[in-house]
Amino acid sequence: MRRRFIMLLLVFALSFGVAHASPKRIVSLVPSLTENLFALGVGDRVVGVTSWCDFPAEAQTKTIVGDAMNLNVEILLSLDPDLVIGDYSLVQGHLDRLEELGIPFAAISPTTIEEVGQSFISLGELVGAKAKGEELAQAMEARLTTLTENIDRPTKPRVFIEVWNEPLMTAGPGSFMDELIVLAGGENIAGDSPTPWPTFSEELVIERDPEVVILTNYNLLEALTRSAWQQTSAFKKERVYEVNSDLYARTTGRILDALEELISILDAVGQ
């Protein structure tokens, strides 16, 4: 994974050019990068965002250029950006068009929490805020260590994270949510899934009997009405939690807020 992350950094380094002046008019196509740009102190240079970019609140005052999948090229060009930045998997679909228009682009896709910290440094260098990027990376590393260094569970609580309810989807290996469970000292009941975001059967959830269920789709009321799930340990002991999905899914410093919350939830299992 680290190798893939480095390759992605190389992609945007080559596309933007190491000798290029710091960008003054940035368009961000991903909520996490929008948030990270503001954290770096360059939010005033962000001129365009997607409709999904809702944090911090100031991001909602920026011009919307579409969503992560669909760009309004006319609006994008009207902003006269000197850098468009996004997640590699999403920007990849726009690379040819951006290149044709002569707009510098950058793509970054950290795949682990450690790489999220590293991405602050790279993004900081890209936008002329290297020192702040290093500061954020160091702070994130220190907090991660503080959160995890004393976790010592005799048994690992079984956890099911519900990403979507129809069809039922969860987080498997290679996803940030799976990593959060592991770091918090839990066992992901979907830890043997073949993909990061697998569909999962209700029967298998019941068979594997999670002790904790995490809901990221704001559907607590619906989930609590599932008759078959009432036999699971999580439902019997009222350990079904609706959480802020942005904390668990976005590659920002706030992902450690999700880790802290999850550690607290799993701590309660042993009490």
According to the per-residue pLDDT averaged within each range, which of 18-22, 91-95, 266-270 is highest?
A: 266-270
Do residues 236 and 215 touch, judged by C-beta distance below 8 A? no
Cα–Cα distance between 8 and 242 in angstroms, integer? 33
Q: Residues of the chain with pLDDT > 90: what percent? A: 77
- Whether the pLDDT of residue 31 is over 80: the answer is yes
The pLDDT value recorded for residue 111 is 87
Cα–Cα distance between 191 and 175 in angstroms, integer? 10
The pLDDT value recorded for residue 139 is 97
According to the per-residue pLDDT averaged within each range, which of 74-83, 114-123, 204-213 is highest?
A: 204-213
Which of 211, 206, 213 has the alpha carbon at shortest distance from 240?
Answer: 213
Question: For the packed helices 31-39 and 113-127, what is the interaxial angle rounded to 10 degrees?
Answer: 60
- Whether the pLDDT of residue 18 is over 90: the answer is no
The pLDDT value recorded for residue 86 is 86
Cα–Cα distance between 47 and 81 in angstroms, integer? 8
Residues sharing a CB contact under 8 Å with residue 65, sequence separation 6 or more, in sequence order = 27, 29, 48, 49, 50, 71, 72, 75, 76, 79
Compute the average pLDDT of residues 76-80.
Answer: 94
Which of 255, 36, 229, 259 has the alpha carbon at shortest distance from 127?
Answer: 36
Higher pLDDT, 68 or 224: 224
Of the pLDDT bands very low, low, confident and very high (cuts 50, 70, 90), residue 6 is very low
Residues sharing a CB contact under 8 Å with residue 105, sequence separation 6 or more, in sequence order = 12, 15, 16, 83, 84, 85, 86, 91, 94, 95, 98, 99
Which of 88, 86, 82 has the alpha carbon at shortest distance from 128?
Answer: 82
Do residues 30 and 90 touch, judged by C-beta distance below 8 A? yes
112 backbone dihedrals φ, ψ, rounded to 5°: -135, 165
- Whether the pLDDT of residue 11 is over 60: the answer is no
- Whether the pLDDT of residue 74 is over 60: the answer is yes
Cα–Cα distance between 81 and 46 in angstroms, integer? 9
The pLDDT value recorded for residue 92 is 67
DSSP H or E run through 185:
none
Using the structure block, give the residue that is written with the tokens 């079984």. 158
Using the structure block, give the residue that is written with the tokens 């793509």. 107
The pLDDT value recorded for residue 25 is 96
Higher pLDDT, 91 or 235: 235
Quote the mean pLDDT of the chain: 89
Of the pLDDT bands very low, low, confident and very high (cuts 50, 70, 90), residue 20 is low
Provide the residue count of the chain.
271
Compute the average pLDDT of residues 166-187.
Answer: 96
The pLDDT value recorded for residue 179 is 97
| pTM tops 0.85 | yes
pLDDT in tens, 141-176: 999 999 999 998 999 999 999 999 999 999 999 999
pLDDT in tens, 253-262: 999 999 999 9
